[in-house]
Amino acid sequence: MTRPLVTLLTDFGVRDPSAAICRGVIFRIAPGAEVLDLTHEVRKFAIRDGALMLWSALPYLPVGFHVAVVDPGVGTSRRPIAVRMGRGDILVGPDNGLLLGPADRLGGVDVAIELVAPEYRLPVVSTSFHGRDIFAPAAAHLAAGVPLEALGPWLDPATLVPSPLPAPRSIAGGLATEIVYVDTFGNVKLSALATDLVAAFGPPGPGAVFDIGPAGGDGDGMRRLPWAATFGEVGPGQPLLYEDSYGRVCLGVNQGNAAERLGLVTGMELELRPV
Amino acid sequence: MTRPLVTLLTDFGVRDPSAAICRGVIFRIAPGAEVLDLTHEVRKFAIRDGALMLWSALPYLPVGFHVAVVDPGVGTSRRPIAVRMGRGDILVGPDNGLLLGPADRLGGVDVAIELVAPEYRLPVVSTSFHGRDIFAPAAAHLAAGVPLEALGPWLDPATLVPSPLPAPRSIAGGLATEIVYVDTFGNVKLSALATDLVAAFGPPGPGAVFDIGPAGGDGDGMRRLPWAATFGEVGPGQPLLYEDSYGRVCLGVNQGNAAERLGLVTGMELELRPV
Amino acid sequence: MTRPLVTLLTDFGVRDPSAAICRGVIFRIAPGAEVLDLTHEVRKFAIRDGALMLWSALPYLPVGFHVAVVDPGVGTSRRPIAVRMGRGDILVGPDNGLLLGPADRLGGVDVAIELVAPEYRLPVVSTSFHGRDIFAPAAAHLAAGVPLEALGPWLDPATLVPSPLPAPRSIAGGLATEIVYVDTFGNVKLSALATDLVAAFGPPGPGAVFDIGPAGGDGDGMRRLPWAATFGEVGPGQPLLYEDSYGRVCLGVNQGNAAERLGLVTGMELELRPV
C-alpha cells in the first residue's frame, strides 16, 4: 500500500529549524507518511504568493494532506481550518485565503471544518507557532487515518476568506492583468491564464505580437513583445511573452532575468494588447 | 516497527552538495532510517547558533540520532564525539560545545564517547569533511543498531567543552541578557527564558511594560515596550516583548522585522527592567 | 530489499516549488523510491557548476537514478537523454555536458539513449519544464523497474556534448588551472586535482610553498602560499593551499572566506608554481 503524502508550504525560511520541527511532529504522529516540502521560502506574510504556489504545485502531486502556513494573523481570531477539495486532498492551515488558492484546480471546496479538537493538537498550543502546534499535528492525524470530522465542527465554506488570486479584467482592446509572482529565474507571471488570452483575443498565431506596459498609463512605457512557444525562438537576452508550463501568461528573457531587465515587480498592473 | 530517526544540522549551506552527501552516506549504511534535515543554513562557524537550534528543535522530535556539524576546528585536535542524553537521544559531532546546547532539555548528558573506531568511519578520512567521513557514518551505524560503546572509548562528560548558550545575569532592578539569535522573521531572541523573567520579577500581568536597551549604557537607548501574549495585541508595525513558542523572551514587531526596526544584532547585551 | 535511490540536482532554486513538483511526480510513479535532493541552488544556467557538483557527490552515493537539470536550451533541439555509467548509475537530463561531468568517477559512459517514448513522459510536455515533464518521470519509471532501452533509441556516446570540466595545462615551471567553483565557505576550487599537482611537481613535502596568481600576468598579483594538510596549520584568517576532501586543489582561509579575501571568482585562470 502506498504511504500517505503530507506536504508542507510555509514562509518559515530554510535557515530556522521551524519547518523541520513540523516534519518531526508529523513523523512522531504518522511515521509511515511521506513528507514533501513544497517550499519554505514563501515571501514573509505573502499569502498570495503561497496561494499561487499551491495552485501551481498541487495538481502535479498525488492526492494528499497539505499543510500551508503563511499566517500574519497567528494568535488573533482568524480560524484554523481544514478544507477537503473535490479531488480528495485535505488542506490544513489558517483561514486567510491561502488554502483556497488551488481550489479551482482541485475540484473545488467540498467541505471545511474548524480545527478545535484538543486531542489532535499538541498538548500546549503557543500563540505564535500554530504550524507546529495545530496544523502539522492535524495533517499527521488525518494521514494516520483520523476522519476529518473528528478534528472539529463543520464550517460553511461560504464563510471562508476567499482566494487572494486576482482575475484579469477586460479593457477596451485589451486585458488588464496584475503581476502575481516573479520566479527565481526572473520570469514574470501574470494573473491572466493562456485561456483568458484566447477568450479575449483568440489563439495567438505564429508571429503574434503584443503591446504590454503599465495599465492606465499614457502609453509611454509600452513595449512590443513577440508571443513565442519557446524561449529559443528569440535570441539570448531577448524578451518574449509565453505560456508557462502551468498555463499562465508570462514575460521572460531567453537565458536572462525578465523582471530585472524590464523593471517589473509583483503587484504592478499591466495592459496587454494584441498588435 | 518505526524507522529510526537521524537528523542533520550543519553550516554547510543549501547550495553546496555537502549536506546531501552526508544523507547519501547515511542511506548507504542505514537505508531504513528516516533522515530529517533540521537546517544547513546555520551561520558559518557559529557554534552557538547551532546549539540554540538544537535546543529549540530536539524536544519536539522523537528520540533519535542527531548529527550536528558546525566545526571551525575540523582537522585540529578537537575530539569527534557522541553523547547520549537522558531522554535516549545520541548526538554526534565535534567536541566544541555544540552538542551540549540542548542537554538540559533532553535530560542531561548520560554518557559520552570519542569516535575513533575505524570500522565505523569511511575508509578514507579527510582533514576537512568529518561530517561525511566520521559523523554521518557514526550516526548511521548507531541507527542500524551498532551499540554506542563499539564506536570508541568512554569520555568523562566533565571534560567536554560546555554549552555556549549564556544565562542572563541579575543586575540592580533588572536582568542583563544577551541577544542569542535573530530568526528569519527578524524576531530577536534573548538568553533569558520566560522562567528567568518570572523568577526575577514575578509573572508579568496584563498591561505589563518593560524598559529595554543596551546594558551598562547611560539609559539613552532605552525603549519602553509592552509585554504581550500575542503579536495581534499591538498594531501592525508596533514592537512588543513576548514569550516565544519555545519559552524564550523575545522582541518582535507585529508583521514586521524587529531586528531591523530596533537596530539589534546577535551578541548585544541588553538590560530589561520592569516599569 | 533496499529502496531504489533517485537524486535531483537543478538550478530551480529553493524558493519556487519546481523541485518539489519533480519530487511529487516521482512519488506518484515510484512511491517506493528514496528521493534525495543534491541541491537546487546551482547557479542559474551554470552547466559546469552542476557538472562539478555531480562529480563531487555521486561517488559517495549508492548506485542510483540521478536527475540533473541545468538547461538553458530547454525547448530547443538539444536532446533529452539518459546515460548509464560503468558503475551502474543512470543519469537523466539534457544533452549539454552536464551529465558527463562525473563520468570518469563512475566508470565512464556505458550506453546512452534519447528520451522519446511518450508513455514514460507526462501526458502533456511543456516547452519550458522538462524536469517535470520528461526527466523526473523517466528516472521514476527506471527506478520502478522499466528497462533503459524502453525509453528511447540508443545514441552513440561519441555524439554527446562533452563534459564542461576543464583540465589544467602544463606551462613552463608550473600549471595553469582555472577556478571552477567557489563554495559557500568561500573556498576556491581549481580545475587541478592533487594528482595533477603530484604528476607535475612530485608530492608536496612538509613546508612546501607555492606561488599562485593570474595566469599570463607580469607576476605582480602573485602570492606565496603554504601547502597545508589542515586549515589549522595556519593561523585564523591566514590563506593556504590544500587538497580538499574530494582530491581537488583549493585555496582556503582558516575560518575565513578565501574568495573574498583574495579577490578570486569562478572562471579566472591561475598559475601555480612550486617555490
pLDDT value at residue C213: 93
Residue B159 banded pLDDT, cuts 50, 70, 90? very high
Question: Measured between CB atoms, does A56 come within 8 Å of chain C?
Answer: yes
Residue closest to A13 by CA, chosen among B257, B91, C257: B257
Angle at C182 between CA C225 and CA C35, to 5 degrees: 135
- CA dist B250 and B178 (Å) reads 11
- CA dist B57 and A15 (Å) reads 13
- CA dist A222 and A209 (Å) reads 13
Contact B255 A25 (CB under 8 A): no
Angle at C91 between CA C89 and CA C96, to 5 degrees: 145
Contact A230 C20 (CB under 8 A): no
Between C138 and A207, the more confident residue is C138
Q: CB of B151 within 8 A of CB of B120?
A: yes
Question: In this complex, which of B5, B36, B245 lies closest to A128 when CB atoms are compared?
Answer: B245
Least confident of A19-28, A221-230, C240-249: A221-230
pLDDT value at residue C109: 98
Contact C20 A37 (CB under 8 A): yes
pLDDT tens string B101-156: 999 999 999 999 999 999 999 999 999 999 999 999 999 999 999 999 999 999 99
Q: What phi and psi, each to the nearest 5 degrees, are found at residue B56? A: -75, -45
Total residue length of chain B: 275
Q: CB of C34 within 8 A of CB of B13?
A: no
Question: In this complex, which of C3, C56, C245 lies closest to B128 when CB atoms are compared?
Answer: C245
3-state secondary structure of C24: helix
Contact B255 A72 (CB under 8 A): yes
Between A220 and B255, the more confident residue is B255
Question: Measured between CB atoms, does A231 come within 8 Å of chain C?
Answer: yes
The enclosing H or E element of B248 equals: strand B248-253
Given the DSSP bridges, would you call strands B209-214 and B223-226 parallel, antiparallel or unpaired? Answer: antiparallel
Question: Measured between CB atoms, does A17 come within 8 Å of chain B?
Answer: yes
Q: Which chain C positions have a beta carbon within 8 Å of A183's beta carbon?
A: 13, 15-16
Q: What phi and psi, each to the nearest 5 degrees, are found at residue C25? A: -60, -40
Q: CB of C58 within 8 A of CB of C33?
A: no
Residue A1 banded pLDDT, cuts 50, 70, 90? low
pLDDT value at residue A52: 98
Residue of A nearest to C22 (CA): A60
pLDDT value at residue C191: 98
Preferred mutation among A25, A27, A40 to probe B, highest tally of B CBs within 10 A:
A27
pLDDT value at residue B71: 96
Question: Measured between CB atoms, does A107 come within 8 Å of chain B?
Answer: no
Task: Compute how many other C-beta atoms are within 10 angstroms of the C-beta atom of residue A54.
Answer: 30
Residue A2 banded pLDDT, cuts 50, 70, 90? confident
Per-residue pLDDT, averaged over B213-238, amounts to 90
Residue closest to C148 by CA, chosen among C158, C138, C157, C156: C138
User: Within B126-215, where are the H helices?
Assistant: 130, 136-143, 194-201
Distance of CA C195 to the CA centre of its chain: 18
Interhelix angle C18-29/C136-143, rounded to 10 degrees, is: 30
Question: In this complex, which of B14, B183, B232 lies closest to A75 when CB atoms are compared?
Answer: B232
- CA dist A124 and C139 (Å) reads 43
With the C-alpha atoms ordered B253, B259, B264, B267, is the resulting torsion angle positive or negative? positive
Give residue A90's identity as a one-letter amino acid code: I
Question: Looking at chain A, which runs of residues are DSSP E strands?
Answer: 5-10, 34-39, 65-69, 80-85, 90-94, 109-114, 154-155, 169-171, 174-182, 188-193, 209-214, 223-226, 239-243, 248-253, 269-274
pLDDT of A179 over the 80 cut: yes
Residue closest to B45 by CA, chosen among B77, B23, B67, B74: B74
Q: What phi and psi, each to the nearest 5 degrees, are found at residue C17? A: -85, 10
Per-residue pLDDT, averaged over A187-215, amounts to 95
Residue closest to B47 by CA, chosen among B161, B128, B155: B161
Interhelix angle A136-143/A18-29, rounded to 10 degrees, is: 30
Q: Which chain C positions have a beta carbon within 8 Å of A229's beta carbon?
A: 75, 127
Preferred mutation among B3, B10, B11, B18 to probe C, highest tally of C CBs within 10 A:
B18
pLDDT value at residue B218: 77
**Looking at CA atoms only, how far is residue A182 from chain C in angstroms?**
10
Question: Measured between CB atoms, does B184 come within 8 Å of chain C?
Answer: no
Q: Tell me the sheet residues that pair with C177.
A: C270
pLDDT of B176 over the 90 cut: yes
pLDDT value at residue C132: 98
pLDDT tens string A87-143: 999 999 999 999 999 999 999 999 999 999 999 999 999 999 999 999 999 999 999
Whole-model pTM: value is: 0.96
Per-residue pLDDT, averaged over B25-45, amounts to 97
pLDDT value at residue B2: 81
**Looking at CA atoms only, how far is residue C32 from chain A in angstroms?**
8
Contact A24 B57 (CB under 8 A): yes
pLDDT value at residue B94: 98
What is the overall mean pLDDT for chain B?
Answer: 96
Residue closest to C81 by CA, chosen among C11, C21, C27, C156: C156
- CA dist C90 and B266 (Å) reads 46
Per-residue pLDDT, averaged over B91-97, amounts to 98
pLDDT value at residue B220: 77
Kindly give the parts of chain C with pLDDT less than 70.
Answer: 1
